[in-house]
Structure 1
Amino acid sequence: MVAVLVHTQADIVVVQGFDYDLTGAALAAFAKLLDAQGLRYPHQFALRPNTGMPTGQDMDGDGRLGGPRDAQGYGAFSGQGGMAVLSRYPVARDAVRDFSGLLWADLPGATLPRTDAGPFPDAKAQAAQRLSSTAHWVVPIDVPQVGRVTLLTYHATPPVFDGPEDRNGQRNADETRFWQVYLDGAFGPAPSDRFVLLGDANLDPAAGDGHKHVMRQLLDDPRLTDTAPTSAGAAATGDTTDTADWDDPYPGNLRADYVLPSADWTVTDSGVVWPAHPDPMADAVVRASRHHLVWVDLAW
Structure 2
Amino acid sequence: MNRILLAAVLSTALIGVGATPATAHGRDDDVRFATYNLSLNRPAQGLLREHLANPDVDDVYRRQAHNVAEVIQRAHPDVVLINEFDYDPVAAKLFADNYLAVSQNGAPAQRYPYRFVAPSNTGISSGFDLNNNGVIDTTPGDQAYGDDSYGFGVFPGQYGMVVYSKYPIDVHAARTFQLFKWKDMPGNAMPTDYYSPEEQAVLRLSSKSHWDVPVKVRGRTVHFLVSHPTPPTFDGPEDRNGRRNHDEIRFWADYISPQKSRYIYDDKGRRGGLKPGATFVIAGDQNADPFDGDSYQNAVRQLTDNPLINAHTFPTSAGAVEASALQGGANLTHQGDPRFDTADFADGAPGNLHADYVLPRAGTKIVGSGVFWPVQADPLFRLTGVFGTEWSAVNGFPTSDHRLVWADLALHRH
Task: Please give the TM-score of this superposition, normalised by the length of structure 2.
Answer: 0.69
Out of 258, 283, 289, the position equivalent to 2:357 is 258
Q: Which has the larger radius of gyration?
A: 2
Q: Which residue in 1 is equivalent to 2:72?
A: 5
The structural deviation recorded for 1:285 is: 2.5
Alignment of 1:242-281 (within 5 A): 242-281=341-380
Larger RCO (CA within 8 A; separation ≥ 6): 2
The equivalent of 1:299 in structure 2 is: 410
Q: Does 1:103 align with 2:181?
A: yes
Matched-pair identity in %: 44
Which of the residues 131, 155, 160 maps onto 1:82? Answer: 160
Higher relative strand content: 1
- Does the aligned pair in 1 maintain the 2:86–2:160 contact within 8 Å? yes
Residue 177 in structure 1 maps to residue 276 in structure 2: no
- TM (normalized to structure 1)? 0.94
- Which of these residues, 171, 196, 200, is aligned with residue 126 of structure 1? 200
- 1:129 is aligned with what amino acid? L
Question: 1-side partners of 2:236 and 2:339: how far apart?
Answer: 31
Picking from 71, 91, 98, the partner of 1:26 is 91
- How far the C-alpha of 1:123 sits from its partner, in A, is 1.5
CA distance in 2, matches of 1:264, 1:161: 38
The more displaced of 198-207 and 212-221 is: 212-221
**Matching residue's letter, 1:48:** P
Q: Deviations over 1:44-64 (max 9, x none)?
A: 110001111111111121112
Tell me what 1:57 maps to: 128
What is the deviation of 1:212? 4.5
1:221 matches 2:306: yes
- Contact kept in structure 2, 1:203 and 1:212, CA below 8 Å: no
Question: What CA distance in whole angstroms lies between the structure 1 residues aligned with 2:279 and 2:171?
Answer: 17
Q: Distance in 2 between matches of 1:131 and 1:152?
A: 16
Task: Indicate the RMSD between aligned Cα atoms, in angstroms.
Answer: 1.2
**Does structure 2 conserve the Cα–Cα contact (< 8 Å) formed by 1:60 and 1:121?**
no
Mapped partners of 1:256, 1:243: distance in 2: 6
* C-alpha distance 217-55 of structure 1, shift in aligned 2 (>3 A): closer
Deviant stretches of 4+, over 6 Å: none
Q: Does structure 2 retain, via aligned residues, the 8 Å contact 1:194–1:264?
A: no
How far 1:292 sits from its partner (Å)? 0.5
- Gap regions ≥5 residues in structure 2: 1-67, 104-108, 138-144, 265-271, 325-337, 386-397
Q: Which ranges in structure 1 are unaligned for 5 or more consecutive residues?
A: none
Is contact 1:204–1:212 with CA below 8 Å preserved after alignment?
no
- After superposition, the C-alpha distances for 1:127-155 in whole angstroms (9 at most, x for unaligned) are 111000011110001112x5111101100
Residues 222 and 280 in structure 2, CA contact (< 8 A), matched pair in contact too: yes
Is contact 1:100-1:136 (8 Å) kept? yes
Mean CA deviation greater in 187-196 or 171-180: 187-196
Shift of 1:274: 0.5
2:229 paired residue number: 156
CA distance in 2, matches of 1:214, 1:39: 34
Q: Deviation per CA, 1:78-129, whole angstroms, max 9, x where unpaired?
A: 0001000001111101111111211000012111114xxx3x2311112111
Shift, 1:270, TM fit: 0.7
Cα shift readout 1:25-76 (whole Å, capped 9, x = no counterpart): 1000000021122210111110001111111111121112221111110000
CA distance in 2, matches of 1:7, 1:59: 42
The one-letter amino acid of 2:198's match is K
How far residue 189 of structure 1 moved from its aligned partner, in angstroms, is 4.2
Partner of 1:48: helix, strand, or coil? coil
